Amino acid sequence: MKDSSLIVGFGTALLVIYVISKLLQARKNAGLPPLPPGPKSLPLIGNLRDMPTSDIFAPHHWIKHKDLYGPISCVNVLGNTLIIINDAQIAFDLFEKQSLTFSSRPELTFLNMVGWNDGTGGLPYNETLRIHRKNFARIIGTKATASQFNKLQEAEVAHFLLHVLDDPENFEKHIQKEVGSVILQMVYGYNTEQFKKDPLLAMMTKVMEDFTRSAAPGAFLVDSFPALRFVPEWFPGAGWKKLAKQMAVELRDAVEKPYAFVESQIAEGKNSLSYLSRLMESSGDTPEDIHNNKWTAASLYSGGSDTTVAAIAAFFLAMTMFPDIQKKAQAEIDRVVGSERLPTLDDLDSLPYVDALVKEVLRWHPIGPMGLPHTSSEETTYEGYRIPKGAMLMPNIWWFTHDPAVYKDPMEFRPERHIEDHGCKPEPDPRKMAFGFGRRICPGKILAENSMFLNIAQSLAVFNIVKKVVDGKVIEPKAEFQPGVISHPAHFEASIKPRSPQHEKLIRSIEQTFPWQESDAKFLERIEN
């Protein structure tokens, strides 16, 4: 009975606060320009019922808004203004041309309680973010600086080919392993276990799973009612507070332990090439410097791991579905590179069709289909519509890359659209949208592009990726993608085999070119919490 009274009392207080705030807001907004059009909202919950559920691919849901309300529309969810952008030019106008106003991030209370507010992706547009981006620019911000990691990336992709050759059924698992390994190498100089579970990779994977779960819109009520963070853990329905504490401990370990590993390696004179070691050499040692160094390193992993896995998986799905395109890319590789070696980043400019294929993967399935939300740092207007301070803006990137007014036959997978032909300009480069906008563009963009090219070019060079046949029946793959902030292809079957005995021999030779490195897991075990 006591719990019931508390809940009723708390609910009544929320209702009173809501009514008062709505009255005050109505007076404040009198005479101002209108918000972008959208569905009529209900008292208290606003347009909560108009939001996509967690099992729906969000871009398809918001395209309906474009048809009903135009390229820019608006919903109100529990008092929060959400603006949906269904036109690429509007996104460029706001996020590029007015980047000072639209470069901040929404404050998600649950993620802040876990600690993600210190990560680059979650920072508002402030001095700390500018420091983060300066650090990234100094160490990995150009092709020249990123090239220090070329051989490292080539080695990890080559090891991936070996894993796929020996165990093609689990290629999706090998993608995850390879992407995580190469990022841990680049960021921390850490060598993962290649043939068994690696403790640091497992730790980082768990943290990323927690982040994906926590960042989903509407995942936790406290994001809509921040005052709930003051509710005690024993309060009915407040179990999420214990979950936040648990996730916070795991996140702290994922930030602190690899940093301590790099510190110990430097102290023992084992400093290897890594983003963090280079950053520590060139930055100060104040508490602020150390904090920012830890979090820029952790942010490179969180921003690059899941996204790259999704993109490479989408490539394998596309090759399974479109064998003729695969053959065209392989013919180009055979003509330019031959079969005596693997393609490298030095071959990129000589492989225009493969480069176009990389772009088409990002267009066909942008891995962040609704991007990361931007917020307005001040009230402003656009095309006569009011955008309130603190409004959350969501770009429908999937629609941007499938708009038939921009891309001819957008549902077709056609790399040729990115190649100039007989004076016809190529269609817009999807990378200008897939990696974010303006001052929030992905800071690891060059490394991600290099990773995608190497994975795609080297896989095509040595493997045939075809539809799987079971008991004489061909399993037809489907272009189905999972909902989420980062969208992965739904599980699909594929048959991956060497193109010839010569190609298998080439893969086997990798063990001599890039010998397996001893794991650093034993050093990690020495590090105290």
Residues annotated as binding site? Answer: 442
Q: Which of 243, 296, 262, 274 is nearest to 444 (CA)?
A: 296
| Cα separation values, 151 from 158, 159, 270, 340, Å | 10, 12, 19, 18
Neighbours of 511 (CB within 10 A): 12
Say if strands 80-85 and 392-395 run parallel, antiparallel, or are unpaired. Answer: parallel
| Cα separation values, 66 from 44, 61, 82, Å | 25, 10, 14
Residues of each annotated binding site for heme = 442
Indicate the residue type of 406. V
C-beta separation of 375 from 105 below 8 A: yes
Element (H, E) at 81: strand 80-85
C-alpha torsion angle, residues 33, 39, 44, 48 (rounded to 10): -130
Element (H, E) at 301: helix 287-321
- Phi-psi group of 454: left, alpha or beta (phi > 0 → left; psi -120 to 50 → alpha; rest → beta): alpha
Two tokens at 156?
Answer: 């990890």
Two tokens at 92?
Answer: 């460029």
Indicate the residue type of 3. D
C-beta separation of 498 from 460 below 8 A: no
Residues 404 and 88: their CA atoms lie apart, in Å, by: 12
